[in-house]
Amino acid sequence: MDQNNQTGAAATQATLLFVDDEANILSSLKRLFRPYGYRIFTAEGGAAGLEIMAQEPVDLVISDMRMPEMNGAQFLEQVRQNWPDAVRILLTGYADVGSTIDAINKGQIYRYISKPWEDNDITITVRQALERRMLEREKTRLEALAQQQNEQLKELNASLESKVQARTEELRQTMSFLEMAHEKLKKGFMASIRAFSSLIEMRGGGPMAGHAKRVGENVRRLAQRMGVAEGEAQDLMFAAMLKDLGKMSLPDYLLSKPLFTLDDREMALVTKHPIRGQAALMSLEQMEGAAKIIRHQHEHFNGNGYPDRLSGLEIPLGARILAVASDYDALQAGMLQPKHFSPAEAVSYLVVNRGKRYDPMVVDAFVELLKGMPTPVKEAELKLHTFQLKSGMTVARELVAKDGILLLMRGHVLDEKLIGMLRGYEKAMDDSLSVYIRAG
């Protein structure tokens, strides 16, 4: 499927502004985004960018951090003050962590992207930001409409019973539409998190494929068993999907190297990823709880972990749960030790390290959870090529591309649109997909 068609009509009408003092960077961004049909403006400094903002309705701004006279943090702060609805994205280098935090706090940026960027990453980020902005506008419109009709309802005369009933029915329909829009916004937010989780796993290669999904399932069951409140359980699920967000800044070779084989220099790089992961989510208020769990996922119960060397109950419960569920899967995938552990060996490892690496209470609850889980019944399935797929078929196994990206989860029901996207992916990536489908 053509990428331009995927962005939709709303994206085609969107206006982007790129601000950077380097002409070659501006040219690269224009060349990258021109095929998507956006209106594009460029400025070689913050002052010029503000002039354009004053004259043109800009939907999204991408600004470099390091610029003379007015840096990216100062520029985006003024954009937030004068055009708060414009989505703000910061381009920053690895050495600009302090300045990036300043931009996050003052400019309330939507996302920061490290230079050099990945083309696919930055285009997906822009598309998702614009889609989210569109949904928020629609939600605001529907809320205003509901409020307006509610005021009209109060003004009706009690004697006009039939009119009251008619208005009540209109209000009911409006509220129904509002709930649908809100639910769509929630689903879009979850889809964005899943998509970004998939991108993180794609960078890590084969061993990470499906890791976040498996960890997410286990933390959900474990949180439920331990009586974790609904809001905290949701934060834990988000943290499980985005726990390796900070690793996006690491060199490729470190992502596939087992943790216990790293030398001191490599370990020093890896141990910073929880802080980077938290920083990347700081501007999203609804992700504050998940960001805290991500920061403390590698703390040890005996105080020998990182980054803050917390111990015991000082470590948030969500982080203690995530540590157990994540390491259980990582041991089996060969991501912690040079060898792949069996499920029984992974459990033994957790038990041996209870009170050291792990919270004994969480380990015990997890072991009991595993004992109570039914043995999966192998279902009848068919292995098909994409040209054999039909609408209504159910995926029997996770579909993973050759580059490690998770394309479909088990249990997903196919439709014609999705089948077409799979065939388009095969053609674009020169990949041959085999899809396992439930038989019968």
- Helices 343-352 and 360-372: crossing angle in degrees, nearest 10, is 160
Token pair for residue 188?
């879009």
DSSP 384: E
- Phi and psi dihedrals of 22, rounded to 5? -105, 120
Identify the CATH class of 9-117: alpha beta
- CB under 8 Å to 63, separation ≥6 — which residues? 18, 19, 20, 46, 49, 72, 75, 76, 88, 89, 90, 91
Closest to 359 in 3D by CA, of 428, 311, 399, 414: 311
Name the 3-class secondary structure at 283. Answer: coil
Bridge pairing between strands 87-92 and 111-114: parallel
Q: Where are the domains of the chain?
A: 9-117, 125-192, 208-372, 381-438
In this chain, the answer to whether the domains covering 9-117 and 208-372 adopt an identical fold is no
Report how many helices (DSSP H) and strands (DSSP E) the chain contains, helices first: 17, 9
pLDDT at 336: 76
Q: What is the pTM of this model?
A: 0.48
Residue 89 pairs in a beta bridge with 62, 111
Cα end-to-end span (Å), the chain:
30
Can you list the pairs that 264-271 forms with residues at least 24 positions away whose Cβ atoms lie under 8 Å? 271/298, 271/306, 271/307
How would you write the pLDDT of the chain (440 residues) with one tens digit per residue? 344 444 444 445 799 999 999 999 999 999 999 999 999 999 999 999 999 999 999 999 999 988 888 988 889 999 999 999 899 999 887 556 666 676 676 667 888 888 888 999 999 999 998 998 888 888 888 988 888 888 777 666 556 666 667 677 776 777 766 666 545 554 555 555 655 555 555 545 555 567 778 888 899 999 999 999 988 988 898 888 888 777 777 776 676 666 667 788 888 887 888 888 888 888 778 888 888 999 999 999 999 998 999 999 999 999 999 999 999 988 888 777 778 888 999 999 999 999 999 999 999 999 999 988 765 555 688 888 888 888 988 888 777 776 656 677 677 788 998 888 888 888 887 778 888 888 76
Query: Looking at the domain 381-438, which fold is it?
Result: Molybdopterin biosynthesis moea protein, domain 2 (3.90.105)
Residues 6+ apart with CB under 8 A from 414: 389, 390, 391, 392, 393, 394, 395
* 208-372 under CATH 2.60.40.1120, yes or no: no
